[in-house]
């Protein structure tokens, strides 16, 4: 096993343990045991437990950031961009439910400066949804009285996926994202007069 492969194995073990036991409750000895090396040998690959947490959280953050950049610069209508960004989000979460759990819960154990960076990135990610919704409203593709509330509602729907999603289940990630998109569009799509009065 190469140095890079061993380091990746350690990150995977940390994701698994942090997601189940929490960052503070997980010991370096437990991580070492999971990858079957001596506890002291871990420090030949990483500087400490905090490096693992920081890297796991920032990896997930970077995935969401990259998805946003690609979708916003890729063209398409507001509904198409919203659909694609939702699909990317679900794909990231379902590809590593354990990483998603660490990202959503254990980030609170980051140091203040690193928390500030993560919060800024999360704000930027939510702003991308607001931007798409705002454009959709302007084009008549969406109706939303409060674009911020709409974006928070969508992200709440997407973010909760890691709590119950089973990779071995019958519903694939794309199908799940399409289902979420349908639910969202039932709330965002314009109504005709009869629907409004009904």
Give the other-Cβ count within 10 Å of 25's Cβ: 10
Q: Rounded distance, CA 70 to CA 110, Å? A: 28
The answer to whether residue 154 is domain-embedded is yes
Q: In a 3-state reduction of DSSP, which class is residue 73?
A: helix
The answer to whether residue 42 is domain-embedded is no
Packing angle, helices 78-95 and 147-159, rounded to 10: 30
Tokens read off for 97: 């439910």
CATH code for the domain of 127: 1.10.357.10
Q: Rounded distance, CA 130 to CA 147, Å? A: 6
The answer to whether residue 119 is domain-embedded is yes
List the alpha helices (DSSP H) in 26-172: 28-34, 49-73, 78-95, 97-105, 112-139, 147-159, 161-164
Residues of the chain with pLDDT under 70: 169-170, 191-198
- Closest to 188 in 3D by CA, of 128, 145, 127: 145
The answer to whether residue 13 is domain-embedded is no
121 is in which domain, residue-wise?
Answer: 49-197
Q: Give the distance, in angstroms, between the CA of residue 28 and the centroid of all CA atoms in the same chain.
A: 26
The answer to whether residue 3 is domain-embedded is no
Contact between residue 130 and residue 178 where contact means Cβ atoms under 8 Å apart: no
Tokens read off for 66: 């990259």
Domain total for the chain?
1
The answer to whether residue 73 is domain-embedded is yes
Tokens read off for 50: 């905090």
Q: Rounded distance, CA 88 to CA 64, Å? A: 8
Q: pLDDT tens for residues 13-34? A: 999 999 999 999 999 999 999 9
The answer to whether residue 107 is domain-embedded is yes
The answer to whether residue 18 is domain-embedded is no
């Amino acid at each position: 096993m190469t140095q890079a492969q061993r380091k990746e194995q350690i990150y995977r073990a940390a994701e698994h343990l942090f997601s189940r036991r929490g960052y503070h409750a997980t010991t370096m000895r437990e991580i070492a045991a999971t990858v079957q090396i001596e506890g002291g040998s871990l420090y030949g690959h990483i500087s400490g437990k905090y490096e693992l947490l920081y890297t796991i959280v920032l990896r997930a953050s970077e995935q969401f950031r990259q998805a946003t950049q690609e979708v916003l610069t890729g063209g398409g209508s507001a509904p198409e961009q919203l659909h694609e960004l939702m699909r990317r989000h679900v794909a990231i979460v379902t590809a590593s439910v354990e990483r998603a759990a660490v990202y959503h819960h254990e980030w609170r154990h980051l140091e203040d400066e690193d928390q500030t960076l993560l919060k800024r990135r999360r704000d930027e990610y939510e702003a991308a949804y607001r931007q798409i919704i705002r454009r959709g409203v302007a084009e008549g593709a969406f109706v939303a009285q409060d674009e911020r509330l709409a974006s928070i509602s969508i992200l709440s729907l997407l973010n909760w996926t890691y709590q119950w999603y089973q990779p071995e289940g019958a519903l694939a990630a794309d199908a799940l994202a399409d289902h979420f998109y349908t639910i969202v569009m039932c709330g965002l799509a314009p109504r005709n007069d009869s629907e409004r009065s009904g």
